[in-house]
């Protein structure tokens, strides 16, 4: 190769850019111009929903450890994702992943549905229609093309003021569904907001082995729209960026893309799930470093120092959250469901294979009784 022609137009960056941030790790405002225009009550509601998310999470893990619930994916440390739901209008749609259940709580969905879901009870996946929220899937990334398809359908129906916000983890970006969903969104100009919760590990696989890209956000350019790299432990930065992305999805200005890929740089302080032992693949020092960035503490410091929160208000929030979670657990455990109900909502009509499985289950129950199916979870 000779001459001065620049053959490669798009050199890949070696390092991530500075993440968008409003609060530093000590709760100090570092970008006044990005501070959300929220009322005092809206600031406190965001804080209360983040604490509700942590309490629900801790209770879910406790129930699993007692053998009263199945496995679940903890969001301990990732509570700032709640702010994305606060940036949505009631008419917008939320398509969460299994770890971002705090968004569901923020939309007003009773935590009972989460406990039912974790207990394997079918009603836990039947979110009341008025919440415009899809029940979180277990397979990785399958919700992304669903979210794009919903946004395309909304366009065909003439819904001009509705955004569709979809959550997923960094592991999902290695799945074909991720690329297919984002590609269709860019090609068909859908009102989509994609939020990647980059918590550093896809189960035990570190982000450095997940992709050769410096960030997930930069992948947006390949699909024809904008990406943004955000401090995901900073709830106010998360809110500000999401609010802007939702505004663009509905009404982009000249030169703006309708779609946005938001990457939240964060960390799960717990395991990938209650079946995981994170001490096998990460150090205590690493966890301790991220604990210093706790999103709830960061927001609490800001609210206290700006006169929006005090001990009395925090106690009131905690008491209300505790009562709500306690009632939800009682309601979820009280609901009895026949095992055959697992087949009821898979397809409109059972396939021959599912019919065979349902008949086999019925025959086994008849032959051995339900006691034979006790998996003995209780310790």
Angle at 347 between CA 344 and CA 351, to 5 degrees: 95
Q: Spell out the residues 6+ positions from residue 193 whose beta carbon is closer than 8 angstroms to its own.
A: 163, 164, 165, 166, 242, 245, 246, 249, 259, 260, 262
Distance, CA of 217 to CA of 194 (rounded, Å): 10
- Rounded Cα distance between 213 and 349, Å, is 44
Which residues does 81 contact at the CB level (< 8 Å), separation at least 6?
A: 75, 100, 102, 103, 167, 195, 197, 232, 238, 264, 266
First to last CA, the chain: 69
Q: What is the 3-state secondary structure (H, E, C) of 144-162?
A: HHHHHHHHHHHHHHCCCCC
Instruction: State the sign of the Cα–Cα–Cα–Cα dihedral 294, 299, 304, 306.
Output: positive
Q: Is residue 228 a contact partner of residue 260, using CB atoms and an 8 Å limit? A: yes
* SS3 label, residue 168: strand
Instruction: Give me the active site residues, please.
Output: 268, 272, 281
Q: In this structure, are residues 169 and 97 in contact, taking their beta carbons and an 8 Å threshold?
A: yes
H helix or E strand, kind and range, residue 65: helix 40-65
Q: Are 247 and 182 in contact (CB under 8 A)?
A: no
């Amino acid at each position: 190769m000779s001459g001065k022609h620049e053959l490669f137009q798009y050199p890949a960056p070696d390092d991530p850019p500075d993440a968008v941030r409003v609060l530093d790790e000590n709760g100090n405002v570092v970008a006044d111009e990005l501070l959300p225009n929220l009322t005092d009550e809206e600031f406190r509601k965001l804080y209360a929903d983040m604490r509700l998310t942590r309490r629900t999470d801790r209770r879910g893990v406790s129930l699993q450890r007692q053998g009263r619930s199945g496995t679940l994916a903890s969001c301990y440390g990732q509570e700032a994702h709640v702010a994305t739901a606060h940036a949505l209008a009631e008419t917008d749609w939320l398509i969460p992943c299994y770890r971002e259940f705090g968004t569901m709580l923020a939309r007003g969905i009773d935590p009972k549905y989460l406990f039912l879901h974790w207990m394997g009870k079918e009603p836990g996946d039947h979110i009341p229609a008025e919440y415009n929220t899809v029940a979180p899937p277990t397979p990785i990334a399958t919700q992304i093309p669903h979210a794009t398809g919903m946004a395309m359908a909304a366009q065909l129906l003439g819904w001009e003021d509705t955004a569709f916000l979809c959550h997923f983890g960094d592991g999902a970006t290695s799945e074909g569904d991720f690329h297919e969903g984002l590609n269709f969104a860019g090609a068909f100009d859908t009102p989509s907001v994609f939020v990647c919760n980059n918590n550093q590990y896809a189960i035990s696989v570190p982000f450095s082995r997940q992709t050769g890209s410096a960030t997930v956000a930069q992948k947006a350019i390949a699909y024809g729209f904008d990406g943004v790299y955000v401090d995901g432990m900073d709830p106010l930065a998360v809110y500000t960026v999401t609010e802007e992305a939702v505004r663009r999805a509905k009404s982009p200005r000249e030169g703006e893309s309708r779609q946005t890929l938001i990457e939240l740089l964060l960390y799960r302080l717990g395991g990938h799930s209650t079946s995981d032992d994170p001490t096998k693949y990460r150090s205590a020092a690493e966890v301790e470093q991220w604990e210093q960035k706790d999103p709830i503490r960061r927001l609490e410091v800001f609210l206290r120092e700006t006169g929006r929160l005090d001990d009395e208000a925090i106690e009131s929030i905690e008491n209300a959250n505790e009562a709500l979670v306690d009632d939800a657990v009682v309601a979820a455990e009280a609901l009895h469901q026949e095992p055959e109900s697992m087949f009821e909502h898979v397809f409109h009509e059972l396939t021959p294979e599912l019919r065979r499985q349902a008949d086999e289950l019925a025959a086994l129950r008849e032959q051995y009784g339900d006691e034979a199916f006790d998996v003995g979870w209780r310790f």
